[in-house]
Structure formats: structure tokens, C-alpha cells
A and B are shown apart, each in its own frame.
Chain A
Amino acid sequence: MENSLLSLIVWLPVLAGGALLFLDPARVGLARSFALLTALLAFALTLVAVAGFDAGTSAMQFEQKVVWIAAFDIHYHLGVDGLSLPLIALTALTTLLVVIAGFGIEDRPGQYLGAFLILSGLMSGMFAALDAMLFYVFFEAMLVPMFLIIGIWGGPNRIFATIKFFLFTFFGSVFMLVALIWLYLESGSFAVADLHAAPLSLNAQIWVFLAFLIAFAVKVPMWPVHTWLPDAHVEAPTGGSVVLAAVMLKIGGYGLVRYSLPIAPDGAAALDWLVIGLSLVAIVYIGFVALAQTDMKKLIAYSSISHMGFVTLGLFLVFAIVRNTGVTDGAVLGMSGAMVQMISHGFISGAMFLAVGVLYDRVHSREISAYGGVANTMPWFAMFAVFFFMANSGLPGTSGFVGEFMVILAAFKANVWFAVAAAMTLILGASYSLWLVKRVFYGEVANDNVASLSDLNAREWTVMVVLALFTLGLGLWPYPLIEMMEPSVAHLVDHVTTSKIP
């Protein structure tokens, strides 16, 4: 089966981004329109894929398979199912918005936009890879553009932040590499489908699971390996924060779904208490940490960690539910909820970082205390921002509600206390989100900086409207997304509840 649509989605931005790096620095306008055109085209291509996607099957679609490294039977093998396609679409959409928002960058704009395009291609490739080695190559390669984006265009403490980001992620992923090589030597293949099918002893599964967990837990990030994220978010330029929050964190969740759970299901079952425990710590403890932040970007970063806790919780509820109820119905709900939460968090966290970026561009401060009464001078902006922060706290009718609700429902089937702890987020999330809204947007105009603010320009309008529509759309009518994922999620639940021990 040959279908190069996915290759196009992956390589078009990479090649165009590569070309942008070498564009004459003086031709800013050309760089912008070229980047915009590429991002639009890439997004349009993902829409073609979404339109042509058959939601009735859990099989891989749009597959392409070419021999890459013959000596080790490694293939350039791409394909999508209901789990990866929404994330690829999210990647393309986020990139498009980041490119639009990045028009304001003055320092080396061509290279800035080029780096984001390359990054987006690599991320799409990572989601679409069906060969573990290909996946690993994309997984690591995307560190390079992000490292440069934070390091070149970041804030004052960017060098510490970017090196920490790079080394944390790199450190996590090398254990996955060892595990993948070990799996290859055991099963004789790097193909994801073969790895899913390969029988493994419980002991081996536990080790493999732990090796994968280190890699993906850093990426998600889960408590206690989350400390790189607040640093990276604070120092990254707005676009970098958006991509980090909206897409890069999802890579951890996707890795758990595509690799950890199906390759080592018994290992995951044996260690689900660990992941659930860490998720609940993230949801509750990190929620409190977010409450204490004085820096807006840091607050959103901690909120992201807390919300990603829902994703990991939803994914690993399956074993407890099966133990508890004997059926897998609730498990599908939890896992779908986790996937919806990933997409929804992509919209909302991206939008919140863009909103902070709008303020930062005008006042050059991220401190909450530097603002107050912004709604008086920027009413339109305040409307959008308040909407996104509301969505972040899980307001029904927005996408933030859907995923959390599904996961909490599933948690009840597993263990009431899980659900109680997870539901804490409804209070905590509302607290830190709304308290921030109160301090920044409402009240008297705090100072001259705020008094002289001008409302959104056309570019910012575009970005905000698009994200608001998606957040609202997914909140009011999540069915198409859930339907698209349903067969893949059901198949995954079936797979992970079947023992692989020979």
C-alpha cells in the first residue's frame, strides 16, 4: 500500500522550513507569506486526511512503507489511526496559529518561522511513525529545533531553561532507546505492529514499561520529573510555549498509548498504581502549586501539568476498572476522555499562552501584579481571555469540560477515591484560573501601562477567534472526535486487557 499523503504532511513543512533558514534576512515579508502559505497548505492536507479517514475501523490508514535501513529491517513506515490523526491535525493547526502569531517577531523572523515549520513536520512524523526506530528518530530530532527556539528567542534565563529542557528529555529517552533495541533483539523487528504482538514475560514487560515510562513521563510531564516545564515555558517565546503546551506534551501521552500500554500491557497492569498515584499527585499537588504562582506563564505551565495528570489518569484507569467491574466499558470511556483531554488541552493551553503573549508584547511583563483592570482598556481581549481561562477550569460547554468529565466518570468505576481526588481539580482549576482572571482583568486600572493598552489587532483577533471556535465546538459537540477515536480506543482496550505473557 503506497500513499504519500502523510509523507507530504511531514516533509512539506520540514523542507519549506529548511528553505526559510537560508532566505535573505532582509526579505521579511517574503518569509512571512512563505511560512503562512506552507502552514496553510499543511493544515489543508491534514484536513484532506481527516476527510478521507474511515472512522469505522481501528486499522492503520494512509499507510506508506519503504525500506529504510535494510540491514536491521527498519522501514520508513507511516500510517494513522483514530489516536494519531487528531493529534496530527492539532499539530498542523497549532503551527498555523503560531506562524500567524509569529509575524510580530523582529529578530531573525525567517529562521524563527522556519524552525517552527521544521518542528511541526517532525512532530507530525512522530505521530505517524509506525516503525519504532523511525519514531525514536523523530522523537529526538524535534528537540533540536525546540532547543534553538527557546535558546535564541527566549527570555533572559533562556540558556539554563533550554539546556535543562534538552537534557531532561534526552535523559528520559535514552532508556527508551535501550528498551527498543532490547525488544528488537527479542522480537526481530522494529515495526510497531510486531512489537505490539510480541509475547514477553512479566518481568521483561515491567522493565520495558519502566524504561518507556521514564521517557514519556518526562515528556508529559508527570510529577516529579516535571521541573523542566515551568522553566522552559517561562523562558520560551510565545510561539515556543504554545507548541510546547499544545503539542509537545501530548507526545508523552501519545507515547503511552502507542508504546507503553500495548507493548507491555501486563507490565502496565502491574504498575498502574504507580502511574495513577503520580497522576493524582500531579492533579492535586500541582494544582495547589499553580495557585501560588505570581508569574502568568508559570501558572499556566503548572496548570498544564495538572491537566495532563488527567490524561495519564484516564489512560491507566483501564486495569482498575477491569479488576473492579470485570467489563471494559468504563475503560473505553476513560481512555477516550484522556484523548479528548489531550486535544482540548491543546486548544486551551495554546490559547492561554497566546493570551499571555498578547499582554507581554505590550507591557513586557508576565507578572500578575503588573496588571489589573485590563478589561477596561482591552474589552475584546478580556472577553477571549476570560473565556479561555474559564474553559481551563472546566466550564461545561467548553472542550475543557468534556475530557475531565469523562475521566472522572471512569474514575468512579475504578475507585471512588480516585474520582474524589481527581474532582479536586474542579475546585483547584477554577481557583487558580479565576483568581488570575480577577487579578489581571478586573478591578480598577492598576497602572499607566495598563491604561495605555490597545485592544487586539487583526492578527491577534484571527488567532483568538479560531481557538475560541474550536474550544467551543469541541465542548458543544464532541461526538465527531469521539467517534473518530472510538474503534482505535476500543481496539486498544481489548489489546491491553489481553495478557501477553507467553
Chain B
Amino acid sequence: MTAAELYLALPEIFIATMACVVLLADLYVTEKRRGLIHSLALFALVFAAILTGRDLVPAGQTLMAFSDTFVRDRFGDVLKLFAYITLAGVFVYAKHFLRSAGLFKGEFYALGLFALLGVMIMVSAGSMLTVYLGLEMLALTSYALVAIDRESARGSEAGMKYFILGSLASGILLYGISLVYGATGTLQLGAIADGMGNGLGDNLMLSFGLAFIVVGIAFKLGAVPFHMWLPDVYQGAPAAVTLLIASLPKLGYLALAIRLLHDGLGSLHADWQAMLSVLAALSMVLGNVVAIAQSNLKRMLAYSTISHVGFILLGVLAGSAAGFAAAMFYTIVYALMSAGAFAVMILLSANGVEAENLDDFKGLSQRSPWYALMMLMILFSLAGIPVFVGFFAKWQVIAAAIDAGFLWLAILAVITAVIGAFYYLRVVKLMYFDAPENNAPISAPTDFRAVLTVNGLAMLGLGVFSGGLIGVCVQAFS
């Protein structure tokens, strides 16, 4: 372990330190000055962004450290930058909700930073062990976050459910990893890929290992048929936590899929491509169809997540640089869209009572034209209507799928997108065409409003000027 290697991992080390600092500082901060913890966490994110951004790895270069267990490349760095941005937005949105719900505790921030650390480790994983380390770090903090409101029976139930199913998924993944280790004799992703290149490939044990790994990834992402935990957890968790687990971890899971399947098991592409195509098809169909039947916004967004996971898998299964870039673009955009959608939900929640029913959106355009417009842009973006950025995400993954020869999947995808448009339009209808049921003024702190405005306008701005972000993603895989 040399100084140069430690230097590569500086952002991770910094975030780990700051998470501990936040945890400790919370002990010495009085209830009234809890805002300091919030600022400290935001500072950590900004500084981490500087650390990562300053040493941005040039496109096409890969730097390894700690006996090749830690990777730094452009893909990872860009994902990390967006993870900071997402988490910063989540913190700002969450503060407003946590305050009014009486949950404004330092633990939320410490756990949030640890979750980020988990994501970062996954993103930079060079070995199966590192992958698993990051995954568990993220998973354990998520379980605790879901149950952060210990007075709430629903929250505890969701936390328990999440824990049991999540552990099962981790176990399955670990079993797959051990099978692959058994077949190849190494945990290094690069060495696995090399070994298979030298004829280690066609091996029954390896195929079994791959199947377990794919199931583990599908579980974590929430792809059908391994999605059952997702709606319950989204609904049971406090809105601020749902906001976090709906956005940030997706970035990590994308990296999980790409690192394991491409970096490690790339030569089994044909096998995992077939598996992912089934998962993608089922997720898009079931997610979009079942979402129509939901009257609870959190559940609706949960099923919408499932369908978006299907679209992301569409990009991953192509297995090409363009496909990964498309999946990366989609994931980043999805994290921003879903954070924005939950933020509007938080905005409508008053005094800790969550506005989780769709009817709470009635007449929003008359109560608050500006936030209704922000939500409108987020919803149309989720539905994939141009010129909003969600459209550019969709067409790229569809293009990747067609390029990989999955025309049927592409056609299925666009049909489910039309089905999906229906339930997003229904929310627009509630906001714009219906009269408000209550006229309570909508209030939120300035930072919340500012971030939501940026978030909403980003749907339009990133769409109109989509060339920039697309270029960044394409470059990450060049």
C-alpha cells in the first residue's frame, strides 16, 4: 500500500472520515443547532466532489490500486460526481421533511454518507470482494435508514422486510461469487476475465455462478421477478428515506452490474444477455402495468422504478460501449428524476403527514403554479416525452437494444412506454385539470425551493442540451 494508492482512494477515505465526524459531532450538537450537521454533510459532499473532480481520470485510462482490488476510471469518477450531486439534493430535500416529521437526527446524515461510501466502493470495485464490501455497506445502511422512525410500525415492518429479502439477495450474490471463484481461482475481476479468455470459459460451475450473480443483481435493482420488496419498502419508509433509496443506490447498482458482468464475466456475454433480456422485458411490462392500478404515489413510483430498471437493463444487456453509456445516462437521469418526484411529494406533506395519496396532487397548479410546472417537467421526463431529458435516456437504451439485435425488446419497450405514459399523465391531470381539495399554502425553506427549481429545470435543460451529458457518458466508455 503506497501513498500513491491511498491518494487514488482519497475521496473514499475522506467520505469515510466525514461520516464518522458527522456521527461524533452529532453527540455534541444541541437539538437547536442540528442544522450544523446538515451543513457539515453538505460540505463533505462538496469537498469530495472537488477531490474527485480535481483528479478526474482521463477518458480511456484505468488506474488500479491495492493489488488491483480498487479501480479508478472515467466511468467511476463521473458516477461518483453524480452520486455527490444526488445525495446533496437528497439532503436538502430531506431536511425539510425530517424537521416536520420530528426525525431530524444526525444519524440520517451519517447513514447517508455511509451509503454513499458503499456506492463509491462498488463503483470503484476491482475485485469481487470489493464489490461485495460496497454492496453490504450500502445495504446495511439502507436497512437502518428505512427503520429510522422507530415509533412507526410501518417503517419497522418495511425495514425488517428489506433486511430479510436484502440479506437473501446478498447471500445469493455471495454464493454466485464463490462459485465463480471456485471455477476461476481468483476474485480479481480483471484476472477472471483474462482466465476466461484463456479457455476457462465453458464450465458448468461458472454458468451456475453467473446465474446466481444475475439473480443477486436483479434483486438489488428490483427487476421482475425479484421486485417484491420494492413497493413495500418504498411505501413503508419515511418519505425522506424513500427519496434516498430511490435515487442514490441505483448509481451503485449500475456499477455493480457493469463491473461484475462486463469487467469480470464479459466473455459470458451471450449468457447474461439472454437472462437480462427476460428480466428487462418482465420489468418493463409488469412495472408499467401495475403502476396504473396504484392510488398511493409511493407505490406508483415504486412500480415506475421497476419499469425504469427494465429500461436500464436494456442498455446493459447490449454489452457494447454505447449500451453501457446509454444505461449510465439513463441511471443518472433517473436518479435526478426520481429525487425530484419525491421532493414534490415532500413539498406537499404538511406537519409530517406524508402526501402519499395521488389525490393530494389535486389542483396543484392553482395552489402553486411554479412547483406544478416543475412536477410537470419531471413527470413528462419520466414518461419519456421529448424534449425532456427522459426521452433521450429512453431512445439511447432502445437504440442500444436494437443495435444488439433485440428489436422485439425495443418494440416491447416503446409499447410499455406508452402504457406508462398513462399513469404519469394521470398525475398531470390531477395537478392541472382538477380543482384543489385543500388550499393550505405550500411552504418550504429557500434552499429546498432553489434545489427543486434547479432539479425541475434540469429536466428541460439537460434535454435541450442533451449533447453534453450524452458526450460525458459516451466518453466514459471510450
Contact = CB atoms under 8 A, between A and B. Distances in A.
Whether both chains belong to one complex is answered with yes
Interface of A: 21-22, 67-72, 74, 133, 136-138, 140-141, 143-144, 147-148, 151-152, 158-159, 162-163, 166-167, 170-171, 174-175, 177-178, 181-182, 184-185
B474 interface: yes
Contact of B410 (A70, A151, A181): A181
Given A167-B418, A185-B402, 13 more contacts: A69-B470, A71-B474, A72-B470, A141-B386, A147-B428, A151-B428, A152-B432, A158-B433, A167-B421, A167-B422, A170-B418, A181-B410, A184-B399
Interchain residue pairs A-B with the least CB separation, the first 6: A174-B414, A137-B386, A69-B467, A71-B474, A151-B433, A181-B399
Nearest to B460: A18
A129 to B, nearest CB: 12
A166 B386 contact: no
A152 B418 CA distance: 22
Interface in B453-478: 466-467, 470-471, 474
Contact of A159 (B418, B429, B471): B429
B421 A71 contact: no
A170 B474 CA distance: 28
A171 to B, nearest CB: 5
A171 B415 CA distance: 7
Nearest to A172: B418
Contact of A181 (B380, B398, B415, B417): B398
B466 A148 contact: no
Contacts of A171: 415, 418
B385 interface: yes
Contact of A140 (B325, B386, B466, B474): B386
Contacts of A175: 411, 414
A166 B432 CA distance: 15
Given A163-B422, A178-B414, A181-B399, A136 B467 contact: no
Contacts of A162: 433
Interface string B410-434: 1100110110011001101100110
A328 to B, nearest CB: 35
A70 B466 CA distance: 10
A156 to B, nearest CB: 12
Given A151-B433, A159-B433, A174-B418, A140 B385 contact: yes
Nearest to A181: B399
A69 B417 contact: no
A140 B429 CA distance: 18
Contact of A136 (B373, B386, B402, B411): B386
Contact of A137 (B369, B387, B407): B387
Contact of B421 (A137, A138, A148, A170): A170
A71 B429 contact: no
A158 B386 CA distance: 23
Contacts of B392: 69
B68 interface: no
A174 B417 contact: yes
Counting chain A CB atoms within 10 Å of each CB, the highest count among B325, B415, B433 belongs to B433
A428 B414 CA distance: 40
A394 B474 CA distance: 56
21 contacts: A21-B373, A69-B467, A72-B470, A133-B395, A138-B386, A140-B385, A140-B391, A141-B387, A143-B385, A144-B385, A151-B433, A152-B433, A163-B426, A163-B429, A170-B385, A174-B417, A174-B418, A178-B398, A178-B411, A178-B414, A181-B410
Interface string B354-381: 0000000000000001000100000010
Nearest to B465: A68
Given A151-B432, A166-B425, A185-B399, A141 B385 contact: yes
B447 interface: no
A181 B395 contact: yes
B5 interface: no
B469 to A, nearest CB: 10
A166 B411 CA distance: 19
Nearest to A136: B386
Nearest to B322: A71
Given A144-B385, A174-B418, A181 B466 contact: no
Contacts of A159: 429, 433
A151 B422 CA distance: 14
A72 B385 CA distance: 19
Contacts of A137: 386-387, 391
B417 A71 contact: no
A158 B429 CA distance: 10
B403 interface: yes
A163 B427 CA distance: 12
A185 B396 CA distance: 12
Contact of B415 (A140, A143, A174): A174
Contacts of B428: 147-148, 151
Counting chain B CB atoms within 10 Å of each CB, the highest count among A67, A136, A163 belongs to A163
A151 B429 contact: yes
A133 B373 CA distance: 25
Given A141-B387, A144-B385, A163-B429, A182 B470 contact: no
A144 B432 contact: no
Given A137-B391, A140-B385, A140-B386, A182 B471 contact: no
Contacts of A143: 385
A69 B418 CA distance: 25
Given A141-B387, A151-B433, A182 B402 contact: yes
A178 B385 contact: no
A138 to B, nearest CB: 8
A185 B467 contact: no
B43 to A, nearest CB: 34
A58 to B, nearest CB: 29
Contacts of A140: 385-386, 391
Counting chain A CB atoms within 10 Å of each CB, the highest count among B421, B426, B432 belongs to B421
Nearest to A111: B369
Interface string B143-184: 000000000000000000000000000000000000000000
A181 B402 contact: yes
Contacts of B403: 185
A152 B429 CA distance: 9
Interface string B321-342: 0000100000000000000000
A211 to B, nearest CB: 9
Nearest to A133: B395
Given A69-B470, A70-B467, A178 B391 contact: no
A72 B411 CA distance: 21
Counting chain B CB atoms within 10 Å of each CB, the highest count among A67, A138, A181 belongs to A181
Interface in B286-337: 325
